[in-house]
Structure 1
Amino acid sequence: MVSTKHFVHDPDKLVASAISAIPIANPSLAVDVENKIIYRKVAESEKVSVISGGGAGHEPSFASYVGKGILNAAVSGSIFASPSSSQILTALTSKVASNKGILQVIMNYTGDALNFGLGSEKAKAAGKQVETVIVGDDVGVGRQKSGKVGRRGIAGTVLVHKIVGAAADSGFTLKQCRDLAQLVARNIVSVGCSLSHVHVPGSEPVTETLEEDQIEIGMGIHNEQGSERVKTPDLPLLVEKLLKQLLDPNDKDRAFLGQLRPEDEWVLLLNNLGGVSPLEMGAILNEVVSALGSNYSIKPKRVYSGTFMTSLNGLGFSISLLRIEAIPFKSDTSFIDLLDYPHETIGWTGPQARFWDTTSTQNNFSTEAVAAERIEASGLNFNKTAFKESVSAGLQAVISAEAQITKYDDVVGDGDCGTTFKRGAEAVLSFLQDDRLPDDPVVAMTEIANTVEKAMGGTSGAIFSIFLTGFAEGLREIQPGAGKSVGMKEWCDAASYALKTLYSYTPARPGDRTLVDAFHPFIDTVSQTGDVQDAAKKAMQGAESTATMAAKLGRSTYVRDLENTPDPGAVGVATFFEGFAKTF
């Protein structure tokens, strides 16, 4: 049974308090609690800045790797949810030096890719030079199953952070840092296993759990399923199975490193997912190193064992192997040189030099983020009373359906979809009830988009914010603007424009088992017929049809048995449309 006992049960307070503690342990750092950004007080303007981030719950990743020699800043989301693009934009534009450019190194999760991508695009528009490298090192789910999504990013990502952070600090250019990060990422393979799921504070208990005598091979760091669930083997057999997934060149679904060469040299990182005792970690390390030597003639040049990237208090571990390659554009520098490079962080447990700068009190660069874009009024007007009534009805429906959506997500995701939708719905409902809705529909939709992004975070927050921002732009396209009242045709045209905007940022299409399976039929039907109630029925039918679809995107991709469970995000969208339609 998964324990639901915690010392702090409010997830938002927990994350805020935890990141506030980072500068206590490392006085060279500062924290922007509102935007969940941890950053160095002193910026070195003549060096490339490296930033990373992702959902909370994986500590010490990423906040505890901020410090001289590794990361310049890290941006945290809520637990298991990516940070928003506005948080990331703040980090890019006001928390790190950008004279020599900024490199983002993130893990391969949809929300991270969307939000860091959107943040970088906005930063580029503001004149910043930003490059992004996405790391996917997990072999727990092979090529065939991962499909469009690709490999997940897990603990091997911190090796990229350490190496590229050292390179940036030692004077590599932005292009060299990017190319190095890509080279390292291509040569890392990782796999994990776990004896149990974990419980997110503030959420409902996980209903789908492992049996007492089972172990999940390849479990992801958000409770995602891996390659198989087996009877718990003896440690030597378990390690043998994991190493075979990492190194077997004949496993075409997982041979991401290709053929192994006798002259290959390696780095080993053994990672505690949070809940394994140091005593057991010692036994596991001994077995892994022994098996590498006896079965593969591998004697690692460097061995790192400890807690590098957790899944809260996950009762499991992961093994990462990095094949050492020459750096083509820096023949006088090696992976090992950069791994041994001194740093000032509290998260990396390798050799480290600590020279805390306790005298600095502020950055030596601008603390002003790029000002929020002024939203230019369109001159359009709309029926605010009807808008508030319909949207509020849809939001209330989503709030009421939280438990059902969460139940679905417990099976096919990480269990937070219902609470995430509810959080977004409550934030917009509060916005509407506080009579803050602007008179201009373009300004109104833009402010709702910002409200949603800030409240929801993660993949859902990014998707809905992109959609609603596209909706606002679609309204702005209406000609002539001044004094024109927005009616059904204009709303439909704007919705179609918004869907096209969303499609430019995600490969998801109808049939991929995503919330698009609810969005598309609603917008298509209402645009053709104007019948909102029929469109809502089509949206729910689309959502329900996802129960029999194979997942091609998102975390459901990694789940072996979806148990005829519909996509939670699609159900959430369709539920909104059902409530919305009842007012027509």
Structure 2
Amino acid sequence: MSAKHFIHDPTHLVNTALLSIPHTNPSVQCDQPNKIIHIKPSSTPSQVSLVSGGGSGHEPSFASFVGPGLLSGCVAGTIFASPSAEQVRRCILHRVDKDKGVLVIVMNYTGDVLNFGMGVEKARAKGINVDMVVVGDDAGVGRKKGGKVGRRGIAGTVLVVKIAGAAAARGASLQEVTRVAQLVADNTVSIGSSLSHVHVPGRREPADDELKAGQVEIGMGIHNEPGSERKSTDLPGLVKTMLSHCLDVADQDRSFSTITETDQVVLLVNNLGGVSPLELAGITNEVVEQLAGTFAIKPVRILAGTFMTSLNGLGFSISLLRVADTGLAGASMLELLDAPAEASGWSAAISSSTWTRRDEMLKSEEQVDEEQVQPSDLRVDYAQAKTTLTTALNRLIEAEPDVTRYDTIVGDGDCGIGLKRGAQALLKMLETEKTTDDLLILVNQIIQVVEVSMDGTSGAIYAIFLNALAHGLRQNAPASPQPVTVEIWANALDSSLKALGNYTPAQPGDRTLMDALCPFVDTLSKTASIEKAAAAAQKGAQGTRGMKASLGRTVYVGGKGFEEVPDPGAHGLAELLLGLSDGLNK
């Protein structure tokens, strides 16, 4: 098996991928010898048929866009190579409904235009009514570089296919569907960027063409074609450049778009294949914010996901469509975009009515008032409390590298970062919140920050424990305002430890943070000394070295090394408690 692929034979890969599509959409069939995916006969009422395709490697485009409301047929080539004219001819003549005519939509690549064009001419010679629309939306190729060839077709083609497919499904004529498809193509501009070139199965790629660490190629095509420039930049800088290439009318070489702030705009953020959904979401947010902040454009539709890939390309593309009048009665461009489609590759399922209500819902959204904390009679010296907490939190932040290293050995490596994030958020809270001498108000301020800033198992345990601590403090509060005592702290901590036991069976000896927490609470109750209690917590944490875990992720994380390191959660807590002791002694 190849180190980069599970299926390393490109021919077998394309064939089996096409065979998979009817498994996920029973309304389509696969003509494997001709690499054609098409709607089953009688699956839809007679309408204009839409045919598209091109080289494989751009999935879900276009084979997985075959289905009611989208394409009637798709012709696939080998990876990054156009299908033959004969494949196209067979699709038009034998695999799709020809009664109302056929529209072929193809991206502007020489091989695709020639082979699909030849197939169209062969079909016309047989008396079939066929039109063809060529999409060139890539702003990564300027006028000088594009020359007579023009702009390449990239992910904006997806919008052309979707809107034209919906028009055909509504019963529009071939002339109308062709006009709408061309209208969308003329009003769409796109650009892509990637952090690396992709590896094609079965092909040896030139190593000297790879991007250096930290570089991004702006304007990269979907077949590994070079872009307009390589540069080192962060995401905001990258998005700024990409949007400028699409929207800057002063750039005479690549000013293909006339989009202004007065236009309705559709935004498509497309994953080139290797970007995680989480990161693509962050990218989408950056694009939306820059469109609004720099260009005063607030898209009326935002589509984000995987629509046209470059195999596992570590990049994304941005497409912008200026909404124009389709000239079809009762079928605006947005309504056609929102219309349902039954194709396994189409993932934008938000209805027109939901989009229409978006602004209304934003205006009527009620802000939830913060719950008011009932005052208590427990008093605290806020200045001392701030100093103590600051010392403890800074000590925890300094311990993060060790906690992270320990958790990388015995867990998933996120414990230290989670604790540091919570500590930093609490430090910020101490600088911004109003001072108070009411201990319960201060504790609840801490709880609110912990609940928002800390996640994962540690976050849940800390939040439960602190909420129970707040309850315990209130239960032990005096009848009149008095300073909090060590005895009150000890009683409240003991009750909160018992409450925590309702949610976790962890006990000392299980290699968890309880190995530090329980000795701290027990020693504080017996000695009334925070210094001795913190030392007991440290001893308990160190005692987890070599201890076999019976709870938590460490139970099923394999490998060696746990014998040499303490439990990361116990170590982090011990450092925090030692910091509290240091702070009190300042």
TM-score class, shorter-chain normalisation, is 0.5 to 0.7
Q: Rate the CA distance shift 1:263–1:87 in 2: closer, same or farther, 3 A.
A: same
Indicate conservation of the 8 Å contact 2:105/2:135, yes or no.
Answer: yes
Map Cα deviations across residues 44-72 of structure 1 (whole Å, 9 max, x no partner): 46310001000000000000100000000
Matches of 1:290 and 1:336 in 2, distance apart?
22
Verify: 1:255 aligned to 2:255, yes or no: yes
Post-superposition Cα deviations, 1:469-527, rounded to whole Å, max 9, x if no partner, equal xxxxxxxxxxxxxxxxxxxxxxxxxxxxxxxxxxxxxxxxxxxxxxxxxxxxxxxxxxx
Match for 1:236: what amino acid?
P
Task: Tell me if the contact between 2:292 and 2:298 (Cα under 8 Å) persists in the aligned partners.
Answer: yes
TM-fit CA distance, 1:214: 1.1
> What's the TM-score once normalised by structure 2's chain length?
0.58
In the other structure, the counterpart of 1:60 is: 60
**In 1, distance between residues paired with 2:225 and 2:260?**
33
Determine helix, strand or coil for the equivalent of 1:30. strand
2:342 aligns with one of 344, 347, 350:
344
1:211 aligns with 2:212: yes
- Aligned residue number for residue 95 of structure 1: 95
Aligned to 2:165: 165
SS at match of 1:59: coil
- 1:213-267 CA-partner distances (Å, limit 9, x unpaired): 2110000001101110111x11111111111001011111111123x44420000
Whose Rg is larger? 2
Letter in 2 for 1:338: L
Q: CA deviation at 1:83?
A: 0.4
Report the Cα distance in structure 1 between the residues aligned to 2:172 and 2:47, rounded to whole angstroms: 8
> Per the alignment, in what secondary structure is the counterpart of residue 268 of structure 1?
strand
Amino acid at match of 1:72: S
In the other structure, the counterpart of 1:31 is 30
CA distance in 2: counterparts of 1:123 and 1:205, whole angstroms: 38
Offset, 1:141: 1.2
Evaluate the alpha carbon distance shift between residue 317 and residue 309 of structure 1 in structure 2; reply closer, same or farther with a 3 A threshold.
same
For the Cα contact (< 8 Å) 1:45–1:99, is it kept in 2? no
| Percent sequence identity over aligned pairs | 56
SS at match of 2:41: coil
Q: Whole-Å Cα distance in 1 between the matches of residues 195 and 346 of structure 2?
A: 25
Q: Specify whether residues 156 and 4 from structure 1 end up closer, same or farther in structure 2 by C-alpha distance, changes over 3 A only.
A: farther
Aligned to 2:76: 76
Tell me, what secondary structure is at the counterpart of 2:288?
helix
Q: Where in structure 2 are the equivalents of 1:308-457 lying within 5 Å?
A: 308-327=307-326, 329-351=327-349
Q: What is the CA–CA distance in structure 2 between the aligned matches of 1:343 and 1:6, rounded to whole Å?
A: 32
Partners of 2:45 and 2:101 lie apart in 1 by 9
SS at match of 1:220: coil
Secondary structure in structure 1 of the residue aligned to 2:114: helix
Greater RCO, CA 8 A, separation 6+: 1
Paired residue secondary structure (1:34): helix
Three-state SS of the structure 2 residue aligned to 1:116 is helix
Q: What's the secondary structure of 1:172's corresponding residue?
A: coil
Structure 2 counterpart of 1:239, which letter?
Answer: V
CA distance in 1, matches of 2:110, 2:179: 22
Distance 2:45 2:210 in 1: 49
Deviation of 1:113 (Å): 0.4
Residue type matched to 1:123 in 2?
A: A
Q: Is the contact between residue 261 and residue 295 of structure 2 (CA under 8 Å) also seen in structure 1?
A: no
Please give the secondary structure, in 1, of the residue aligned with 2:163: helix
Greater Cα offset, 88-97 or 208-217: 208-217
Deviations 1:109-132 (A, max 9, x none): 000000001101111111111100
Counterpart position of 1:10: 9
Counterpart CA distance in 1 for 2:206 and 2:26 is 38
CA contact (8 A) 1:190 1:321 kept: yes
Contact kept? 1:45, 1:100, Cα under 8 Å: no
Deviation for aligned residue 1:342: 1.3
**1:213–1:352 Cα change, 3 Å:** closer
The letter for the 1-side match of 2:223 is H
CA distance in 2, matches of 1:170, 1:141: 35
Aligned mates of 1:205, 1:251 — CA distance in 2:
34
1-structure distance, mates of 2:48, 2:107: 20
Q: TM (normalized to structure 1)?
A: 0.59
Q: Distance in 1 between matches of 2:350 and 2:239?
A: 29
Q: 1: distance between equivalents of 2:34 and 2:92?
A: 12
**Any idea what SS the aligned residue of 2:34 has?**
coil
Counterpart of 1:300 in structure 2 is 299
| Number of aligned residue pairs | 348
CA distance in 2, matches of 1:148, 1:283: 37
Separation of aligned partners in 2, 1:179 and 1:49 = 14
- Runs of 4+ with deviation above 2 angstroms: 42-46, 260-263
- Contiguous gaps of at least 5 residues in structure 1: 354-584
TM-fit CA distance, 1:331: 4.4
Name the counterpart of 1:127: 127
For the 8 Å contact 1:52–1:73, the answer to whether it is kept is: yes
Question: Contact between 2:260 and 2:297, CA under 8 Å: does it hold in 1?
Answer: no
How far apart are the structure 1 equivalents of 2:35 and 2:300? 36
Quote the offset at 1:349 in angstroms: 0.9
Say whether the 8 Å CA contact 2:188–2:320 is kept in structure 1.
yes
1:540-559 matches, within 5 Å, as none
Give the match for residue 156 of structure 1.
156
Contact 2:265 2:301 in 1 (8 A): yes
Q: Which residue of the partner structure matches residue 222 of structure 1? A: 223
- Taking the aligned partners of 2:324 and 2:41, their CA distance within structure 1 comes to 32
1:83-125 Cα deviation digits (max 9, x unpaired): 0011111100010010110000010000000000110111111
How far did residue 5 of structure 1 move?
1.4
CA distance in 1, matches of 2:162, 2:68: 11
- How far apart, CA to CA, are the structure 2 residues paired with 1:65 and 1:239? 28
Please say if 1:175 is aligned against 2:194.
no
* Cα distance in structure 2, aligned partners of 1:136 and 1:61: 16
- 1:536-575 alignment runs, 5 A limit: none
Structure 2: 5+ residue runs without aligned partners? Answer: 352-586
Kindly indicate whether the alpha-carbon contact (under 8 Å) linking 1:143 and 1:253 is maintained by their aligned counterparts in 2: yes
Contact kept in structure 2, 1:4 and 1:205, CA below 8 Å: no
The equivalent of 1:104 in structure 2 is 104
- The one-letter code of the counterpart of 2:347 is T
Specify the alignment match of 1:278 in structure 2. 277
